[in-house]
Amino acid sequence: MHNFRQFLRQTYSLDRAKAIALKEEGKKRPRLMMISRKRTCFVTNDAEITRLARKMGFGVIVDEANRSTNLSRFAQIVNSCDALMVVLGAGLTNMVFLPNNAVLIQIIPLGGIDGFARTDFGEPFDGMNLKDLEYEIKVKESSLSKQYPLDHPVIKDPRSFHIKGWDVLRKTHLDLQNVTIDLHRFRRTLAKAIKILHH
C-alpha cells in the first residue's frame, strides 16, 4: 500500500506528503472533507455535521465524486485535507489520496457490517500511515428504526441477513438505510480526530 500510494502521488502530482501537525502549525485550521452521498446510505444531517465540525475548529469541504468527476482535481482536493469522513462504501477508497498522518473517519451503518469495514478498508491501512476512527451507527441514528419495528430481525438480528448473501444484505442494510448522526456522540469522534492531529 505504501508503494501504491507513492505511485498515485506521482501520477496525480500530490505534493502534500503530511497532514497538518497542529502543535507546529499554530492557529491554522485542519481541513475535514465529507464525502456526501446522495443516492444510498447517506447522512441526512450533513449540514449540522458541517456546522459542528466548523465550530470545533475544522475547515470543512463537502464533495462527492461521480463518473463525470475529474479524478485528478478530486485527488488534489482530498490530498489538501487532514481528515476524511465517509459512510462505509466505495467513497472510502479516496483515502489513498490523503497525506500521511491524516485521519479517516468511517461511518459504519447499522447491520453488523463492521467486519466488512475492517476487511475491505481497515486492513489496507497497514503501510498507509493513516489514522482510522470508526463511528458505528446506533439504532436511533438509522432510518431502519423508522421502517421496521424495533424487534424486527433487520434491527435485532442483522447477521441473519448475512447468510442470505450479499445482495440481500446490501438491499436491506445499505441501499435502504440512511443515517442521522447523533451530534453529541459524533462530537467525541471529531474531538479524537483533532487530538490525533495534535500529536
C-alpha cell at 42: 447517506
Q: What is the pTM of this model?
A: 0.88
Domain 2-198 in CATH 3.40.50 = yes
Q: Report the residue count for the chain.
A: 199
Per-domain residue ranges of the chain: 2-198
Q: How confident is the model at residue 174 (pLDDT cuts 50, 70, 90)?
A: confident
CA separation, residue 111 to residues 46, 105, 106, 158, 170 (Å): 21, 18, 15, 5, 10
User: What number is the average pLDDT over the span 89-111?
Assistant: 90
Give CA–CA dist 126/13, Å, rounded: 23
Give CA–CA dist 192/199, Å, rounded: 11
User: What number is the average pLDDT over the span 126-155?
Assistant: 91
Q: How confident is the model at residue 100 (pLDDT cuts 50, 70, 90)?
A: very high
